[in-house]
Amino acid sequence: MNDNISLKPASIKIDHVIKKFGEVEVLKGVDINIQPGEFFTLLGSSGCGKTTLLRLIAGFEELSGGHISFDGKDISSLNPWERNVGFVFQNYALWPHMSIYDNIAYGLRMRKLPQKVIDDRVRWALSVGGLEGMEKRHPGQLSGGQQQRVAIVRALVIQPQALLLDEPLSNLDVKLRIKMRKDIKDLQRQVGITVIYVTHDQEEALEISDRIAVFEKGVVQQIGKPQEIYKNPANPFVAQFVGTSNFIEGTISNGEFVTHSGKPIPLRPGIQEEGRVKLCFRPEHVRLGRIQEEGAFPVTVISGAYRGNCVNCVAEVEPGLELTIHTDEEFESGEKLWLSIQKYSYFK
């Protein structure tokens, strides 16, 4: 890395942050601690408050309550230009009439840095962004992925303590999104900066994040590593929002689970819970076959759809209770099979 480029990643503390727009409370006391150099994702559907939190961190909105700190210093009252963060907008916000060089240099010129420093930093930005030789082009002459990289390195050349990205891949087609996910993660690892990334795409979040905060209606439902979020969801909302889950409502009594209609669903021995619960399991955490095994119960195949990496099978346990199963084998509609649940959780 060029000697003139020094990125010092910040730790970021979100301390009981509240945001109201009029009478509407968009964020309801959010607490998050982000480590220096961490790739941290805010995941949720539209309107859940994730972008509002990102804008509060950047200083584009004012807090209604709580505090935001960088490396232990409260920045809640600072103006956006005093916070030393880089922000990448959903539409990239590149100047169409400026060259790529001038777009990247814009923030440096606003800081009135010497021309040699600007040249050095732009050269570094072009290098880390894989944009060498494109400095004289204009944004309209670049692909969507190249424009996105320009927006990111433009944010990095000002040497921010944190890089904030608001759904930066939403305008790209599916193939390019998948490629750019890797590019963003590789770039973050290369420069070592703290990243806060907003997305509604759970697959994207699972792939690129060190940790994820799952939002619903202004409340953080769970914070954890991608594997923790997927394998051990904190509640039914997280289980359904991150990936696909099956739910069976019923009752546990004397270590046995039965549906509301009284159909028994065999589970592992030793369950201590009693009372009404919601059983939850992933489509891939089952075994489906034509031979009855210990712990299996009968189901009927409703439909099957080949998806390349698996067959997405819908099976009926009883009228009104259908399950989604991922299997390697194709089965015929109407076929009677045996299903055993290999891994599950349950919620009160």
Q: What is the pLDDT of residues 170-191, one digit of tens each?
A: 878 888 888 889 989 998 998 8
Mean per-residue pLDDT, 135-148? 91
State pLDDT tens for residues 250-266.
999 887 899 999 999 99
Q: Which fold, 12-236?
A: Rossmann fold (3.40.50)
Could you count the other beta carbons within 10 Å of the beta carbon of residue 327?
A: 19
pTM of structure: 0.91
- All CATH 2.40.50.140 domain ranges of the chain, comma separated, are 244-347
- All CATH 3.40.50.300 domain ranges of the chain, comma separated, are 12-236
- Residues of the chain with pLDDT > 90, as a percent, come to 77
Per-residue pLDDT band for 5 (boundaries 50, 70, 90) equals: low
Per-residue pLDDT band for 2 (boundaries 50, 70, 90) equals: very low
Q: What span, in angstroms and rounded, lies between the C-alpha atoms of 213 and 222?
A: 6
Mean pLDDT, the chain, whole residue set? 92
Q: Which fold, 244-347?
A: OB fold (Dihydrolipoamide Acetyltransferase, E2P) (2.40.50)
Q: What is the pLDDT of residue 92?
A: 78
